[in-house]
């Protein structure tokens, strides 16, 4: 049995906008909690977004790394890659959580971000997150 998530992956990889839209309910709601201004509702915006992606990233590929889906929800890990028209690379990784109703995606929460290059070490990431400069101890209270 194909899940809504595997159908979505296959439609993405075929660049088949009609098959992709069939994966979503008419009243689909999308959220990106790390980017609150990117939320939207409806399949018309899905069409607009993915038509632009397929056009702007002609070799777009979606890898569904892991996923699980039951009757009402699906959790998935994704890697999206390709080359933009300007020659720069698209490389996104993250998680998408979806609500599934009648075999179609009714809502989604996307946690996808660009893969960083060059890679930041864990020490550098923690320093950036805490605001501590390398070699400086944090003030005490």
Whether the Cβ atoms of residue 99 and residue 75 lie closer than 8 Å to each other: no
* pLDDT at residue 66, as a whole number: 96
The tens digit of pLDDT for each residue in 48-79 reads: 999 999 999 999 999 999 999 887 999 999 99
- What are the structural domain ranges in the chain? 4-130
- Reading the chain (141 residues) residue by residue, the pLDDT tens digits are 568 999 999 999 999 999 999 999 999 999 999 999 999 999 999 999 999 999 999 999 999 999 998 879 999 999 999 999 999 999 999 999 999 999 999 999 999 999 987 778 889 888 988 988 665 555 555
- Measure CA of the first residue to CA of the last residue in the chain; give whole Å: 58
Whether the Cβ atoms of residue 32 and residue 49 lie closer than 8 Å to each other: no
Give the three-class secondary structure for 45.
helix
The architecture of the domain spanning 4-130 is Roll (3.10)
Q: Which helix (H) or strand (E) holds 90?
A: strand 89-101
Cα 111 from Cα 32, distance rounded (Å): 6
**64 pairs with which residues across the strands?**
78
* pLDDT at residue 128, as a whole number: 84
């Amino acid at each position: 049995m194909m899940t809504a998530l595997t159908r979505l992956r296959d439609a993405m990889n075929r660049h088949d906008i009609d098959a992709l839209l069939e994966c979503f309910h008419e009243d689909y709601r999308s959220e990106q909690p790390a980017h609150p201004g990117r939320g939207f509702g409806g399949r018309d915006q899905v069409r607009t977004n993915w038509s632009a992606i397929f056009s702007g990233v002609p070799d777009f590929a979606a890898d569904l790394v892991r996923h699980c889906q039951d009757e009402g929800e699906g959790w998935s890990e994704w890697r999206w890659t390709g080359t933009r028209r300007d020659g720069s690379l698209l490389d996104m990784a993250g998680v998408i959580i979806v609500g599934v109703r009648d075999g179609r995606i009714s809502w989604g929460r996307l946690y996808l971000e660009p893969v960083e290059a060059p890679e930041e070490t864990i020490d550098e990431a923690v320093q950036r997150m805490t605001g501590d400069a390398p070699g400086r101890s944090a003030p005490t209270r």
